[in-house]
């Protein structure tokens, strides 16, 4: 059976004029519905789960809407939307599914902006970090978004239960992830490098991981690496199917959380390709 898609139409209610818009997720949802996926509704993340990841003072500012960030606006009720997206990630982790929720999360650090970035890059709560801390099992986080997950690295750096791997384009926002340190491994790629280089790099990265230490694989699933998107690495549907084959071959419980990807019709097709080799 195909992995379930975690989705709520509530995540389409805000931010219609932003590049991180409802349309990118709406189009992906329609594609996946047409292709026969089953959907399940998330509940908002518990505050105790959020506090494992974020500082209480930052969450208070988020609740109040007292944040100033040109990339990540203080939309009305944004704390509740972000909390629901984090809950989507938690549910995906529990059922080995795919959370098709927004806002994304991997740029959000403990106090908001992370590792020297001036903005939170469309992110409010670090969804995948919340899910991983909720599971509390030895986990490999693989970030395939075209931007470095600076918030995830900040939160997970030095965590003995987590290995973090990011393949990202450089130079590009947020300008971090230039080198590996401790349990965080970063791989820099040139714009439009293409599938062959990407897959070779992914295999090289995974070869360095002691999979005996890993019980769960958590994927920050960004699709802005698709040709023509915001962080294009020259990938296409076939590329994501190859990525999925590699991840499925690890034979570990695996869940996925949506990050970037701003051409909605491509996002849906890429998700379908990525999940083809998974059976729950």
Handedness of CA 144, 99, 97, 272 (dihedral sign): negative
DSSP H or E run through 220: strand 216-221
Candidates 54, 106, 107, 168; catalytic one: 107
User: How far, in Å, CA of 91 to CA of 266, rounded?
Assistant: 24
Of 272, 54, 20, which is closest to residue 152 (Cα–Cα)? 54
Active site residue 107: yes
User: How far, in Å, CA of 5 to CA of 32, rounded?
Assistant: 8
User: How far, in Å, CA of 67 to CA of 228, rounded?
Assistant: 31
Q: What angle do CA 101, 175, 216 make, to 5 degrees?
A: 45
Q: Is 251 left (phi over 0), alpha (psi -120 to 50) or beta?
A: left
Question: Which residues are marked as active site?
Answer: 107
């Amino acid at each position: 059976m195909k992995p379930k898609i975690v989705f709520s139409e509530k995540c389409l209610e805000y931010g219609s004029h932003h590049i991180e818009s409802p349309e990118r997720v709406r189009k992906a949802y329609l594609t996946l519905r047409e292709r026969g996926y089953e959907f399940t509704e998330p509940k908002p993340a518990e505050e105790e789960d959020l506090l494992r990841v974020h500082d209480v003072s930052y969450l208070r500012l988020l609740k109040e809407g007292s944040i100033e960030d040109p990339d990540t606006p203080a939309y009305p009720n944004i704390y509740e939307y972000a909390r629901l997206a984090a809950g989507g990630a938690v549910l995906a982790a529990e059922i080995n599914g795919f959370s098709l929720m927004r806002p994304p999360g991997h740029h959000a650090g403990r106090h908001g902006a992370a590792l020297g970035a001036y903005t939170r890059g469309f992110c409010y709560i670090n969804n995948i970090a919340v899910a991983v801390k909720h599971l509390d099992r030895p986990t490999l986080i693989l970030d395939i978004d075209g931007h470095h997950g600076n918030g995830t690295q900040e939160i997970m750096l030095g965590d003995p239960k987590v290995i973090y791997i990011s393949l990202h384009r450089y130079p590009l926002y947020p300008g971090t992830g230039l080198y590996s340190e401790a349990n965080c491994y970063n791989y820099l790629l040139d714009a439009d490098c293409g599938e062959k280089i990407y897959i070779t790099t992914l295999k090289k990265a995974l070869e360095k991981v002691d999979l005996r230490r890993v019980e769960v694989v958590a994927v920050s699933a960004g699709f802005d690496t698709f040709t023509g998107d915001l962080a294009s690495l020259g990938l296409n549907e076939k590329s994501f199917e190859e990525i999925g084959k590699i991840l499925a071959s690890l034979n570990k419980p695996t869940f996925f959380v949506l990050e970037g990807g701003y051409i909605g019709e491509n996002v849906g097709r890429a998700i379908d390709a990525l999940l083809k080799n998974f059976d729950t």
